[in-house]
Chain A
Amino acid sequence: MTETAPELPADPPARARVSPLAPCVLAWIVPGLGHAWLGRRGRGAAFFTVVVATFVLGIASGGASTVIDRQQPLSYLAIVDNLALGPLDFVARRLTIGELVYRLPDPEADPRRHEILARVRDRVRIPTYEYGSTFLLTAGLMNILLILDAFDIASGRKD
């Protein structure tokens, strides 16, 4: 009786040789672009549509981007989530706060602090502000998951 040689493991798929950095950066710049770059064009298009739709609904529902306020520690987490949207976050800040601002000026007497807070209060008065902000935060969380998913695919951990 002859023994057959054990099968050698197949060569790692081509995607395992792809640097995971490029799809992660692409996914951060444009949601779904990382997947499209990895050959998953259909999924990339679906992810782009869903994340952008969530983002647009967030703006349309009266949501606002977060600004760091030292008195509110959770604002640090929220701003990381906002930044995960990449360039879309710049658009959101322009549309909701009126300028690219990420931190409230510290001194209470600073007039810029009151200007920024006044603009945020205008958004808070919209009845669906909470929904809008939740949509914006969810779009950011989705893009974080997309970046991690693109990393897994590029490093061969996932199909």
Chain B
Amino acid sequence: MLRSHFLNMALFALLVSVFFAFLTQTRGRDRVRVMLVMGGAMIVLSLIVAYVMYPFPLPR
């Protein structure tokens, strides 16, 4: 069972970006570009949002 939140997020980004790369592009180079841009953007933006949320923890 996958317990790591980061690993889950990274796998999610990978799978979704591969899916959309094959769905929207037909050439291999374009697919790789979409995979890298979409997957990278999902991971980087998630980390940025996580750090922005860091000063605002949930009330206990």
**CB within 8 Å of B: which residues of A?**
43, 46-47, 50-51, 53-54, 57, 60-62, 126-128, 131, 134-135, 138, 142, 145-146, 149, 159
Contacts and interface: CB of A to CB of B under 8 A. Distances in A.
27 contacts: A43-B22, A46-B22, A47-B22, A50-B18, A51-B19, A54-B15, A57-B2, A57-B8, A57-B11, A57-B15, A60-B1, A60-B2, A61-B1, A61-B8, A126-B1, A127-B3, A128-B1, A128-B2, A128-B3, A128-B8, A131-B9, A131-B12, A138-B12, A138-B15, A145-B23, A146-B23, A149-B23
What DSSP secondary structure best describes chain B's contact surface?
A: helix
Interface string B19-49: 1001100100000000000000000000000
A14 to B, nearest CB: 18
B60 interface: no
Interface residues of B, number: 15
Given A43-B22, A149-B23, A159-B26, A53 B1 contact: no
Interface of B: 1-3, 5, 8-9, 11-12, 15-16, 18-19, 22-23, 26
A51 B15 CA distance: 8
